[in-house]
Amino acid sequence: MNLAVSAPDRLVVRTVHIPDPGDLLARLPHPTALAWIRHGEGIVGWGEAARLDLPGGPDRFTVADRWLRELFGAASIDDPVQAPGSGPVAFGGFGFDPKSPDSVLIVPRRILGRRDGHAWLTTIGDDTDPLALLHPPTPPTRLTWSDGALTAPAWERAVAAAVDRIRHGHLGKVVLARDLHAHATRPIDARVLLQRLAARFPACYTFSCAGLVGATPELLIRRTGDELASLVLAGTTARGTGPADDTARRAALLASTKDREEHAYAAEMVRDALAPLCSELTVPDQPELLTLPNVMHLASAVSGRLDSRRSVLDVVAALHPTPAVCGTPTTTALQLIRELEGMDRGRYAGPVGWIDSRGDGEWGIALRCAQIEGTHARLFAGCGIVADSDPAAELAEAQSKFRAMQYALEG
């Protein structure tokens, strides 16, 4: 594996307690932001003290974990805070497909964090970088939109082809994604999108890493010491036009055989993947409902106790890809995705999050997101396809999932 590495021989890291900094996202001094925020808490970063670009491959998680252990193990770390996310942290995102050359880890020069009443600033290297806003954020302007790899009718035909394969017994479920392109007249500032997403979807994990910006409702894994938590989401409906419509849609989703089957696939896979890594594991027998401003999901909160020798990336490697973003059986679903989607997802639907020097971290699935490159944004949305799926209904669901990032771009 040919790695692109940028790192000093030894990181010098200093973390200090600070007064509450207020809005963490407002402190970001540059559009190339790193962020992981939920309900106003989390961490943000800027600058690059070290970076690893991975070309893909089935062992990319193991390679990344080994590189980080060596980098952090050789570092000089002064961290009296000792909170999850204090000390040196790597923000990262991994390509959905092992063949995708789009995985990256970034250790920022500055990390600002707040959690459970504590706030801190981590500096790596010299301390000459102030917190002042050097580049005020500017909203996107004059957006134009265009189709991605497939038009809406072509994507419906892909869904129909997938349903036919499923009904003939080739697989149980596959997740098919669409992309959509937006073009602005000036470079798109990630901080504007982050502020809008965090305000509208406070219960989601608002993230930014190497141009991938979004607000995911799906927590793939959280590791704090030996405690482990995961949130399985599969089965979705759009929000209604009012309270009565919401109530009807909620009842229909809970009663939907198609959506409950889709959710069961995802929950069972998470149980099977985590059981060998945990001394204790709790998976609910029945899903609950997670209600967001634009959609409702069937959700199962998983908890457990992890082998302390395992880092959060060990668990990420065991879980990815879940049936919620790929399908089942995994190998067959991945092959069908490559055949029908007509695109490389990049880091969409791959793991995104952070890991610190203790092996703690939070990683979500990169959903409700867009890849930002200059004046261009590439949006993504995906739907779980099973035997009872209707192509027109799946297209409508994908359109609902696009709306989060369309809102972030249009305001």
Site of tokens 């932001």: 33
pLDDT at position 128: 65
Residue with tokens 């030894």: 10
Question: CA 390, CA 402: separation in Å to the nearest integer?
Answer: 19
Q: What's the sign of the alpha-carbon dihedral 109, 203, 358, 365?
A: negative
Q: What is the dihedral of CA 54, 58, 59, 60, to 10 degrees?
A: 20
Burial class of 155 by CB neighbour count within 10 A (0 to 12, 13 to 18, 19+):
buried
The Cα 25–Cα 43 span in angstroms is 9
Q: Are the beta carbons of 301 and 233 closer than 8 angstroms?
A: no
Q: What pLDDT sits at residue 131? A: 47
Question: Residue 299 is inside which H or E element, if any?
Answer: strand 295-306
**pLDDT tens across 301-316, in order?**
999 998 877 888 989 9
Domains and CATH numbers, the chain: 4-125+144-410 (3.60.120.10)
Considering 41, 70, 156, 173, which one is annotated as catalytic? 173
Backbone angles phi, psi at 105, to 5 degrees: -125, 135
Tell me how far CA of residue 209 lies from CA of 91, 143, 214, in angstroms.
Answer: 7, 23, 10
CB 33 within 8 A of CB 44: yes
Q: Is the peptide bond before 329 cis (omega within 30 degrees of 0)?
A: yes
Q: Which structure tokens are listed for 322?
A: 């879940």
Sequence-ordered alpha helix ranges (H) in 143-256: 152-167, 190-200, 243-255
The CA distance from 146 to 266, in Å, is: 32
Pairing of strands 205-209, 361-365: unpaired
Rounded distance between C-alpha atoms, residue 378 and residue 180, angstroms: 6
Residues 353 and 324: their CA atoms lie apart, in Å, by 18
Phi, psi of 3 (to 5 degrees): -100, 145
Instruction: Count the residues in the chain.
Output: 411
Other C-beta atoms closer than 10 Å to the C-beta of 233 total: 25
From the candidates 218, 262, 362, 397, give the one annotated as an active-site residue.
Answer: 218
> For residue 105, what is the enclosing H or E element?
strand 103-107
41 catalytic, yes or no? no
**Residues paired with residue 173 on neighbouring β-strands, in sequence order:** 328
401 given a catalytic annotation: no
The position carrying tokens 């203790």 is 358
pLDDT at 113: 98
Tell me, what's the pLDDT at 1?
Answer: 55
Q: How many CB atoms lie within 10 A of CB 200?
A: 16
- Write the CB contacts of 314 (distance below 8 Å, at least 6 apart in sequence): 61, 65, 277
Q: Give the pair of three-digit tokens for residue 4.
A: 């692109």
Residue among 254, 199, 266, 264 nearest 230 (CA):
266
For the four alpha carbons of 387, 393, 394 and 400, in that order, the dihedral sign comes to negative
Predicted pLDDT at 168: 97
Task: Identify the helix (H) or strand (E) that includes residue 399.
Answer: helix 391-410
pLDDT < 70 regions, the chain: 1-3, 127-134
Strand-strand pairing, 41-46 and 110-115: antiparallel
> Prior bond to 8 cis, omega within 30?
no
Quote the tokens at residue 136: 């005020």
What whole-number distance in Å separates Cα of residue 38 and Cα of residue 163? 36
Rounded CA separation 222/87 (Å): 17
